């Protein structure tokens, strides 16, 4: 009997142990299942995050336009239809150029040129590099967040297996330091010489009528070996960059002097300049010339003619008195004191500066070479390189940062027609400002 009881007790203990083991195994199984689900959820979340990140990356990539081309058209002067293959090579070039100026990163464009056109390809590369490196040195952030261009086919000529195509370029730019302001450039001349290579076209040469480009093409003589071309162009760019560093340093000094109120303009005049009327005129005729005046865009540029018109509409009368004169009564050049023709000071960049500096008594009352940060709407700016001033602009206002401090000047100009453009956008390293104060009656 005792043996049976003892046996039952052992059996009962054994069953309890088995039950404990089963319960433990069940708990372990549940734990494994829970962890498995959790890992699965984490994997899904991770995949979702990867999908979101990929989507963001794709969105970021897609935010960079496949092309910056806004519109392609032709003038009445262009004979025939636009060849798609010709437009294709021009758009490829323009897109590479625009990607360079928006990011301020150099893009190798030599692959767009003919294999036997290394010198021309390097001229282009040097000009683009000059533009980018000069803007990198600027005190303002010269990257561009939004940009597009129009190309207008103006002329085409086929000769000796080459095709010469002239296009006019319109630019629409949003510089990052000028929030909410669109800068525009109209009618920039580009002359492409193209050669058919296989089933496409390549660039044989390019000439662009814009500051950074003519600084190279006007001073460089083609016809050199590849090595000599590279050496000379590199040296030319190096010299320009050195000049530009000096200009940036000068403008920093000007800005410090302006903020510390170290410079003053004390000159007085009999009659004040009407800046409102001058500004209104500068805005109205920046893209289209006033038909009451001749346009000299085809004869070296209309920039100073436009600036003189602005000053005249600001109330400053023509001046036939004294040694320095300023007049416009017709196209013919005339330095006489009679009411015929035009003076060189009306249409010539340096001649106007000389008049503004020298004039005493009747006529324009101005002060030359002022601190640029004292400029106001209606004042005149002049730009150039190698200490030769080649272009005149009209100041229409200034650019301020978030703290309300002036960081740059806004300008309008003719040939090239620029609207709401920053003065710092010019690669020309020489810049000066003429303060138009008014005029004197005697």
Average pLDDT, the chain: 90
DSSP secondary structure code for residue 401 in this structure: -
Which residue is listed with tokens 């600084």? 215
Q: Are 299 and 424 in contact (CB under 8 A)?
A: no
Q: Let me know if 208 is exposed, middle or buried by CB neighbors in 10 A (0-12, 13-18, 19+).
A: buried
Q: Distance (Å, rounded) from C-alpha 137 to C-alpha 252? A: 12
Q: Distance (Å, rounded) from C-alpha 320 to C-alpha 306? A: 20
3-state secondary structure of 312: helix
Q: Is the pLDDT of residue 106 over 80?
A: yes
Q: Are 137 and 248 in contact (CB under 8 A)?
A: yes
Q: Is the pLDDT of residue 20 over 50?
A: yes
Q: Distance (Å, rounded) from C-alpha 137 to C-alpha 139? A: 7
Express each pLDDT in 161-218 by its tens digit.
Answer: 999 999 999 999 999 999 899 999 999 999 999 999 999 999 999 999 999 999 999 9
Which residue is listed with tokens 């000299």? 296
442 pLDDT tier (thresholds 50, 70, 90): confident
Q: Distance (Å, rounded) from C-alpha 370 to C-alpha 435? A: 7
Express each pLDDT in 64-102 by its tens digit.
Answer: 789 999 999 999 999 889 999 999 999 999 999 999 999
Residues ≥6 apart with Cβ < 8 Å to 285: 306, 309
46 pLDDT tier (thresholds 50, 70, 90): very low
Express each pLDDT in 395-427 by its tens digit.
Answer: 999 999 999 999 999 999 999 999 999 999 999
16 pLDDT tier (thresholds 50, 70, 90): low
Q: Distance (Å, rounded) from C-alpha 216 to C-alpha 287? A: 27
Given this model, what pLDDT does residue 300 score? 86
Given this model, what pLDDT does residue 21 score? 64
Q: Distance (Å, rounded) from C-alpha 86 to C-alpha 93? A: 11
Q: Is the pLDDT of residue 28 over 90?
A: no
Can you name the residues that pair with 271 across neighbouring β-strands?
439
Is the CATH number 3.10.450 carried by domain 69-252? yes
Total-model pTM: 0.84
């Amino acid at each position: 009997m005792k043996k049976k009881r003892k046996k039952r007790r052992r059996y009962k203990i054994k069953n309890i142990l088995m039950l404990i083991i089963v319960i433990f195994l069940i708990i372990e199984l549940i734990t494994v299942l829970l962890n498995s689900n959790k890992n699965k959820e984490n994997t899904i979340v991770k995949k979702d995050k990867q999908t979101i990140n990929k989507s963001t990356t794709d969105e970021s990539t897609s935010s960079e336009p496949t092309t910056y081309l806004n519109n392609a058209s032709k003038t009445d002067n262009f004979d025939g239809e636009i060849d798609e293959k010709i437009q294709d090579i021009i758009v490829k070039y323009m897109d590479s150029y625009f990607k360079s100026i928006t990011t301020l990163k150099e893009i190798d464009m030599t692959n767009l040129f003919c294999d036997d056109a290394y010198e021309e390809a390097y001229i282009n590369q040097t000009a683009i590099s000059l533009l980018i490196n000069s803007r990198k040195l600027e005190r303002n952030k010269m990257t561009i967040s939004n940009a597009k261009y129009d190309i207008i086919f103006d002329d085409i000529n086929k000769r000796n297996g080459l095709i010469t195509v002239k296009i006019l370029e319109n630019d629409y730019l949003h510089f990052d330091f000028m929030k909410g302001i669109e800068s525009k450039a109209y009618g920039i001349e580009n002359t492409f010489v193209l050669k058919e290579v296989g089933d496409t076209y390549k660039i044989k040469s390019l000439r662009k009528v814009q500051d950074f480009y003519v600084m190279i093409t006007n001073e460089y003589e083609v016809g050199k070996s590849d090595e000599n071309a590279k050496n000379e162009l590199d040296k030319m760019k190096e010299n320009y960059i050195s000049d530009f560093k000096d200009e940036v340093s000068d403008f920093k000094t000007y800005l410090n002097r302006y903020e510390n109120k170290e410079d003053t303009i004390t000159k007085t005049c009999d009659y004040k300049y009407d800046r409102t009327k001058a500004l209104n005129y500068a805005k109205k005729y920046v893209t289209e010339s006033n038909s009451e005046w001749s346009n000299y865009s085809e004869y070296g540029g209309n920039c100073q003619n436009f600036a003189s018109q602005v000053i005249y509409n600001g109330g400053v009368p023509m001046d036939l008195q004294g040694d320095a004169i300023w007049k416009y009564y017709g196209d013919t050049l005339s330095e006489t004191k009679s009411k015929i023709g035009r003076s060189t000071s009306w249409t010539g960049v340096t001649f106007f500066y000389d008049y503004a500096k020298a004039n005493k008594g009747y006529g324009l009352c101005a002060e030359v070479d002022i601190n640029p940060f004292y400029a106001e709407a209606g004042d005149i700016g002049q730009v150039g390189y190698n200490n030769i001033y080649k272009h005149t602009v009209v100041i229409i206002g200034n650019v301020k940062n978030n703290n309300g401090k002036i960081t740059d000047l806004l300008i309008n100009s003719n040939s090239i027609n620029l609207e709401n453009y920053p003065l710092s956008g010019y690669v020309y390293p020489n810049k000066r400002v003429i303060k138009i104060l008014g005029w004197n009656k005697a």
